[in-house]
């Protein structure tokens, strides 16, 4: 083979390699429209060890609810410090315990901002670390302020973060409304590679306006739901105020029940919860 042919072949290989390298490269930084958020409400959970959540910011759900809060869950929600209290280090801790209490075999806690913070549109976020194990169901989510009046899901539901404890590296974010609810919501998942959501804190957020709902993990947008996509399935029911909810459920339709190998107690540790409005 002549030197000229060898040089041409080498040049072709170099150019081909460059093209392949360029075509496989990715932009690691998302380019989103600039947000101008202003803090509207927050709880930093800076109470003393054993202190209950601030009653001016949160109210409790107590008991087993109707049909296990509609999901065949197994826990009894309480307001006891052993189920929900500050750790004295700037966090609120919700603890699920295996114990016989009232009519249930497990206890946990669920709090909400209903009647206190109910906001239409904005950014809502929490920095937290999840529990893990088969049958553990931590969640940070929202319901429409009219939830007690129409039959769910007409009020609308926004699940900012929920996790199956047996899959501690995957979170799911969803919306529920007429035509897309229960086991068939509009949803997206975010999976950690070589890591888990129970081993470190992560920031889970939703940004929501009249035309779309965006879900984030650590400020990475992993799921956008456009109003047009929703209206192709059913009714858009997200033009009124919603309130936030934090809870750890045990068992239920979403993930199945614990077994003898599920470790208890299990904790969801929340550093802060914040709500923003557009500036």
Residue 224 near residue 206, CB atoms below 8 Å: no
pTM value surpassing 0.85: yes
pLDDT of the residue at 97: 98
Query: Which residues in the chain land under pLDDT 70?
Result: 1-28
> Which domains are seen in the chain, by residue range?
37-278 (2.60.120.200)
157 given a catalytic annotation? yes
pLDDT of the residue at 6: 40
- H or E segment at 4? helix 3-24
Measured CA to CA, the distance from residue 31 to residue 115 in angstroms comes to 36
φ/ψ of 10, rounded to 5, equals -65, -40
Nearest residue to 204 via CA among 218, 190, 193, 187: 218
Residues 215-250 have pLDDT tens digits of 999 999 999 999 999 999 999 999 999 999 999 999
* Catalytically annotated residue among 73, 125, 162, 207: 162
Tokens of residue 133, six digits? 């194990």
pLDDT of the residue at 18: 39
Q: DSSP alpha helices (H): ranges in 115-247?
A: 227-233
Tokens of residue 21, six digits? 């390298």
pLDDT of the residue at 32: 83
- Cα end-to-end span (Å), the chain: 70
51 given a catalytic annotation? no
* Catalytically annotated residue among 73, 125, 157, 207: 157
């Amino acid at each position: 083979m002549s030197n000229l042919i060898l040089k041409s072949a080498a040049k072709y290989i170099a150019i081909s390699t460059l093209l392949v390298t360029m075509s496989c490269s990715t932009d690691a930084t998302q380019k989103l429209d600039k947000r101008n958020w202003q803090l509207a409400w927050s709880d930093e959970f800076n109470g003393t060890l054993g202190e209950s959540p601030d009653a001016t910011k949160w109210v409790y759900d107590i008991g087993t609810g109707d049909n296990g809060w509609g999901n065949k869950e197994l826990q009894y929600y309480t307001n006891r410090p052993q189920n929900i209290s500050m750790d004295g280090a700037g966090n609120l801790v919700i603890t699920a315990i295996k114990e016989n209490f009232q009519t249930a075999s497990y206890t946990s806690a669920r709090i909400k901002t209903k009647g206190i913070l109910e906001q239409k549109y904005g950014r809502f976020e929490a920095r937290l670390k999840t529990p893990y194990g088969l049958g553990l169901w931590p969640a940070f989510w929202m319901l429409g302020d009219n939830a007690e009046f129409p039959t769910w899901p007409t009020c609308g539901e926004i699940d900012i973060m929920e996790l199956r404890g047996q899959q501690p590296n995957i979170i799911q974010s969803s919306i529920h409304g007429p035509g897309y609810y229960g086991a068939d919501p509009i949803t997206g998942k975010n999976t950690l590679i070589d890591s888990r959501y129970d081993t470190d804190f992560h920031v889970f957020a939703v940004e929501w306006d009249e035309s779309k709902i965006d879900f984030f993990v650590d400020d990475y947008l992993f799921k956008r739901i456009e109003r047009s996509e929703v209206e192709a399935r059913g009714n858009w029911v997200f033009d009124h105020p919603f309130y936030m909810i934090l809870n750890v459920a045990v068992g239920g339709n979403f993930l199945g029940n614990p077994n003898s190998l599920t470790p208890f107690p299990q904790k969801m540790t929340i550093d802060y919860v914040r709500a923003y409005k557009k500036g």
